[in-house]
């Protein structure tokens, strides 16, 4: 089991960075447009405070539905292959089974089979070859060498858990919970060369991964404002603009929020982990290399300030917005301890040494931002796009929707966090307050550079 645990962990390290953008949404409309949201919901409202003053479009046209219910066709497929009453004995989930594959299991965890896989993410098919001698170790991973990351990799996010408050006018006073975690790994160049370039392991050398992990959470009382600061004089009287796309929303909207962060707890660990081989390589037992600096808060006393700002301009069929969160958000923790955790090869033990206690340290929250634009043409066509970054790489979505009465066709492209181009297309049928949508999109969530293709289905209630 321990081996399986290690395997799963290692598999996660390889898989997670590639899965970060895997599950965009449960909305087949959005997935069919490559991930872009043409409405004023979701990311626009979350990351651009100005949009909190803009009415969400609903009830027609490109409006967002009140409720989107995913139709989980993928679950039927999954449980047909893995009967639910046999999951405990399913070879795919039993590490002692010859059919157990941690890569596939991690794929399931990171990409829940809600929707139907049209082309499943391929599991690596490859021969790996090792040349072992007393003073020689060469690893040839074949095609899977492409999976060894060239740069830092990891996963993390900065999110807000709750938002409770009250407001009047455009002002709002609330308390939000925040959480930020980030785990990144960097292979040192020697280890990367060994794994990726089939460079022989050199005697008397160290090979390691540098880990940098941080997690912090707390509460932030927030005073925010969102409102229309400029309204065109003709906003209510432009001929031909009626219905949900009317220009009643025209104007410039501004949003801003000031946060005072109360950090509850935080921890950060940085350091290398690996091994040092002897000379000759297999003549001596390799030495474990583990040397980490760990900073942790003694008390829930993180303090800091930060701000969100955003602006949106709506002019008839066109709108554009840009917003950023947690600007200048730096927390000062006045009571923290710094420890060194070191592996002692002589005693085969890990020692913890207090380097300093009751000292001040600082942490930052990553800045998140979004820029979005949409153009609603009078012919039933809507095009839009957004650029989004939640602290771990930029994602770009561009998509369009064409409506003909109750029918809709959609398409889009995206550049994911791995800078890989993905595609989406789909369609929908709306009858009254209900709509059925289908979206097909490509993604690269697994240990492969090949794209997988998934079909999402959802029912929308308008």
Partner 1 sequence: MKALATAALLVLVTGCGQGKAIFNVDIYSFMAGTGADTIPYVIAPASSGSVSTFSRVQLPPGFGSSVVDSVRITLGNANLMNSGGTGTVGFSIFFAPDSAGTMTAASALDIPPTTVSGSNTVPVAITGDLSPAIYSLFASDTLWMRIAATGNNPGVTPVTGTGVLTALVIRVVLQDKIL
Residues that bind partner 1 (CB under 8 A): 3-4, 6-7, 10-11, 14, 95-96, 98, 100-104, 123-136, 139, 141-142, 144, 147-148, 195, 207, 274-275, 277, 282, 285-289, 447
Angstrom distances, CA of residue 269 to CA of 171, 220, 297, 400: 39, 24, 12, 44
Least separation, in Å, of the C-beta of 111 and partner 1? 16
> For the chain, what is the radius of gyration of the CA atoms?
26
* 98 or 431: CB nearest partner 1: 98
The DSSP secondary structure of 173-194, one letter per residue, reads EEEEEEEEEEEEEEE-HHHHHH
* 196 or 392: CB nearest partner 1: 196
* 117 or 163: CB nearest partner 1: 117
* 151 or 432: CB nearest partner 1: 151
Asked if residue 207 lies in contact with residue 191, where contact means CB atoms within 8 angstroms, the answer is yes
What number of other Cβ atoms are within 10 A of residue 433's Cβ? 11
Least separation, in Å, of the C-beta of 129 and partner 1? 4
Least separation, in Å, of the C-beta of 352 and partner 1? 19
- Does a cis peptide bond (omega within 30 degrees of 0) precede residue 220? no
What are φ and ψ of residue 166, in 5° steps? -145, 165
Least separation, in Å, of the C-beta of 152 and partner 1? 16
Asked if residue 433 lies in contact with residue 452, where contact means CB atoms within 8 angstroms, the answer is no
* 207 or 369: CB nearest partner 1: 207
Q: Which residues of 405-422 are buried (b: 16+ CB within 10 A; e: fewer)?
A: eeebbbbbbbbbbbeeeb
Q: Which of 139, 156, 155, 167 is nearest to 53 (CA)?
A: 167
* 131 or 234: CB nearest partner 1: 131
Least separation, in Å, of the C-beta of 122 and partner 1? 8
* 271 or 323: CB nearest partner 1: 271
Least separation, in Å, of the C-beta of 88 and partner 1? 19
* 123 or 356: CB nearest partner 1: 123
Q: Which of 420, 373, 367 is nearest to 392 (CA)?
A: 367
Asked if residue 263 lies in contact with residue 331, where contact means CB atoms within 8 angstroms, the answer is yes
Q: Output the six-digit token pair for 83.
A: 């009967």
Question: What is the DSSP code (8-state) at residue 111?
Answer: S
Coil, helix or strand at residue 142:
helix
* 103 or 359: CB nearest partner 1: 103
Asked if residue 395 lies in contact with residue 443, where contact means CB atoms within 8 angstroms, the answer is no
Least separation, in Å, of the C-beta of 142 and partner 1? 8
What number of other Cβ atoms are within 10 A of residue 383's Cβ? 19
Least separation, in Å, of the C-beta of 267 and partner 1? 23
Task: Round to whole Å and give the CA distance between 215 and 296.
Answer: 10
Task: Round to whole Å and give the CA distance between 63 and 253.
Answer: 19
Asked if residue 51 lies in contact with residue 40, where contact means CB atoms within 8 angstroms, the answer is yes
Least separation, in Å, of the C-beta of 278 and partner 1? 10
Least separation, in Å, of the C-beta of 133 and partner 1? 4
* 26 or 275: CB nearest partner 1: 275
């Amino acid at each position: 089991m321990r081996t399986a645990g290690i395997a799963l962990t290692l598999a996660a390290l390889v898989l997670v960075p590639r899965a970060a953008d895997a599950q965009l949404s449960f909305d087949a409309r959005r997935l069919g447009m490559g991930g872009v949201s043409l409405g004023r919901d979701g990311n626009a409202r979350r990351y651009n405070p100005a949009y909190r003053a803009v009415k969400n479009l609903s009830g027609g046209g490109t409006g967002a539905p009140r409720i989107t219910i995913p139709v989980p066709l993928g679950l039927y497929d999954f449980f047909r292959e893995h009967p639910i009453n046999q999951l405990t004995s399913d070879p795919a989930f039993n590490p002692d089974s010859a059919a157990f594959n941690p890569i596939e299991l991690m794929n399931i965890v990171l990409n829940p089979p809600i929707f139907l896989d049209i082309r499943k993410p391929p599991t690596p098919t490859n021969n790996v070859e090792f040349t072992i001698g007393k003073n020689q170790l060469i690893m040839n991973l074949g095609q899977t060498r492409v999976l060894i990351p060239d740069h830092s990799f990891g996963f993390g996010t900065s999110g807000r858990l709750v938002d409770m408050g009250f407001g009047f006018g455009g002002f709002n006073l609330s308390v939000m919970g925040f959480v930020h975690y980030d785990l990144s790994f960097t292979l040192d160049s020697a280890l990367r060369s060994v794994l990726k370039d089939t460079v022989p392991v050199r005697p008397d050398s160290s090979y390691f991964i540098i880990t940098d992990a941080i997690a912090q959470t707390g509460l932030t009382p927030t005073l925010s404002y969102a409102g229309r600061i400029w309204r065109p004089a003709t906003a209510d009287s432009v001929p031909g603009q009626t219905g949900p796309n009317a220009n009643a929303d025209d104007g410039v909207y501004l949003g801003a929020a000031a946060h005072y962060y109360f950090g509850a707890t935080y921890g950060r660990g940085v350091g290398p982990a690996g091994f040092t081989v002897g000379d000759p390589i297999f003549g001596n037992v390799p030495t474990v290399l583990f040397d980490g600096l760990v900073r942790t808060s003694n008390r829930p006393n993180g303090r800091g300030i930060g701000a969100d700002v955003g602006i949106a301009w709506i002019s008839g069929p066109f709108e554009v917005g840009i917003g950023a969160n947690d600007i200048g958000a730096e927390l000062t923790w006045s009571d923290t301890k710094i420890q060194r955790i070191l592996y002692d090869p002589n005693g085969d033990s890990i020692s913890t040494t207090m380097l300093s206690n009751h000292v001040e340290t600082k942490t930052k929250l990553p800045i998140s931002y979004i820029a979005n634009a949409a153009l609603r043409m009078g012919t039933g066509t809507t095009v839009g796009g957004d650029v989004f970054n939640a602290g771990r790489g930029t994602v770009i979505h561009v998509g369009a929707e064409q409506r003909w009465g109750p029918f809709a066709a959609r398409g889009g492209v995206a550049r994911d966090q791995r800078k890989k181009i993905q595609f989406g297309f789909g369609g929908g049928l709306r009858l009254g307050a209900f709509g059925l949508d289908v979206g097909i999109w490509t993604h690269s969530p697994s240990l492969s550079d090949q794209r997988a293709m998934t079909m999402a289905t959802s029912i929308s209630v308008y």
